[in-house]
Amino acid sequence: MDVHHPNLGGLWLPLVTPFRDGALDEASLRRLVRHYAAEPLDGLILAATTGEGLTLDEAETERLVALAAAELAACGRRLPLFLGLSGSDTRKLAKALHHTAPWPVDGYLIACPYYTRPSQEGMVRHFAALADSTARPIMIYNIPYRTGVNLGNAALLEIVARCPNVLGVKDCCAELAQSCELLRLKPASFAVLTGEDASFHPMLAQGAEGGIIASAHVAPRGFAAVRDLLRAGDGAGALAAWHAVDELPRLLFAEPSPAPVKHWLWRAGLIDSAELRLPMTPVSEGLAARIEREMARRQAAARDAAA
C-alpha cells in the first residue's frame, strides 16, 4: 500500500478472533477469512478490541496475522489488513512496530494511551514517535470512554500535519460536535472512519469516509449497501438500507462485545465455538434467545425475498 495514496475509506471489519479449548482456532479463522473475502468489505482489522487483542500473546498474534494473510492470498482477494496495537508506553509500542515490520500487514490501528491520561502534547509526541517508527500507514483509535483520555481535534490535526503516514482515525469520541468539526477541518487526504456501529449512516451522511463496524460481521452486504448508496448520491435509498440493519448494533452491543457477535457467528456455523477469554464472558441466555430469534427472522425474510 502506498502510504501517500491509500484508500482507508469504506466498510472495514474488526475481525473477531476465534478460540477453542483455550487456543487460537485456526480452522475457524480460515473459514472466517474466506467468508469475508467474498463480501463487499474494504479492509480487515486484526487483534483489535473486537478481536480480543489484549488477550493474545505475541506468538498467537503473529500466527493470526500469518493465517489471515495466507488465506486472503489463497482467495485471490487483495483486502488490506491492519493490526491493532495499544499500550501506554511509547517505547514498547515503537519496539512492537519494529518487531512486526516483517509481518504481512498493510498498516496499524493504534489506540490512544490508556489509563495514564496523558496531556494533548503528550499524545502528539506519542503518535509522532510511533509514526517515525514505521513507514506503514497508521490509523489512530480515539475512544476516550475506554482509554480515559480524548484526543482533541487540534492535537489530532497537529499529528496529521507532522506525520505523513498518519492517514486516518477510528472516531469513537462520542461527541458529535467534535466529530463534525473534525470533518470540516481535516485535510481531504485524511480519512475519518466511525467506530460506533449505530452512527454508521449518520456519520457517512455528514461526510465521514467510512466505518470500522463490528456489526458488519452478521450483515456485511447490508452495511455495504448504505456505503454504496450514499456514494451514489441516493440519500433515500441509503436511509432505507440503513433501516434494514440499524437494529443490529443495539442487539450486538446489548452485552459486552464481542460476545454477542461470536454467539451469532457460532450459531451461523462460521466459527466452531463462541468461546471468549476472561474477563469476557458468554452472552446471557436471554440475549442468546434474542439473537437466535433475529437470525431466524432474517433467514425467513431472505427465503421470502428469494421466492
User: What is the pTM (predicted TM-score) of this model?
Assistant: 0.96
- Of 141, 145, 186, 262, the catalytic one is 141
In Å, how far are 81, 95, 98, 181, 271 from 134, measured between CA atoms? 16, 10, 7, 29, 34
Q: Is 186 labeled as catalytic in the residue annotation?
A: no
- How high is the pLDDT of residue 304? 85
Which CATH fold would you assign to the domain 10-244?
A: TIM Barrel (3.20.20)
Cα separation, 165 vs 138, whole angstroms: 6
Check whether 212 is labelled as a binding-site residue.
Answer: yes
Low-confidence ranges of the chain (pLDDT < 50): 1-5
Q: What residue segments make up the domains of the chain, in order of their start?
A: 10-244
Distance (Å) of CA 302 to CA 87, 245, 248, 249, 294? 43, 14, 16, 20, 12
Active site annotation includes 114? no
**pLDDT for the residue numbered 189:** 94
61 is known to lie in a ligand binding site: no
Report the distance separating Cα 256 and Cα 108, nearest Å: 24
Catalytic residue, chosen from 36, 108, 170, 262, is 170
What is residue 6's predicted lDDT score, i.e. its pLDDT? 56
